[in-house]
């Protein structure tokens, strides 16, 4: 999940929906238990591994002569790399 850019435990669903490719995928509860045991050193190692995997993937794509495919949005073709950033606003209120 991390190598694929997942940032939330719910992103495991992408892997779970492709069981024939990834095999069994941890449950949400198991994933939470693992995450509670991740210390700053392990987290840094995971981030480094993800960066390395992404770099290798980009280099392999370049070696194969594959350009970044254009994205389509609003009926237009957008050349180059398009980053789709999403956020959720959460309103929280305390009665205290």
**Predicted local confidence at residue 90, as pLDDT:** 72
Run of H or E including 15 = helix 12-16
pLDDT digits (tens, 9 = 90+) for 35-56: 888 888 988 998 899 889 888 8
Report domain extents, the chain.
9-69
Q: Is the pTM of this model over 0.75?
A: no
DSSP string covering 24-57 = S---HHHHHHHHHT--HHHHHHHHHHHHHHHHHH
Range scoring the smallest mean pLDDT among 1-5, 28-32, 77-81, 85-89: 1-5
């Amino acid at each position: 999940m991390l190598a694929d850019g997942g940032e939330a435990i719910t992103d495991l669903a992408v892997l779970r929906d492709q069981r024939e490719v990834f095999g069994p995928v941890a449950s949400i509860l198991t994933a939470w238990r693992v995450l509670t045991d991740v210390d700053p050193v392990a987290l840094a190692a995971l981030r480094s591994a993800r960066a390395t995997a992404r770099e290798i993937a980009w280099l392999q794509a370049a070696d194969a002569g594959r350009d970044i495919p254009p994205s389509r949005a609003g009926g237009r073709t957008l050349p180059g790399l398009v980053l789709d950033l999403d956020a959720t606003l959460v309103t929280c209120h305390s009665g205290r």
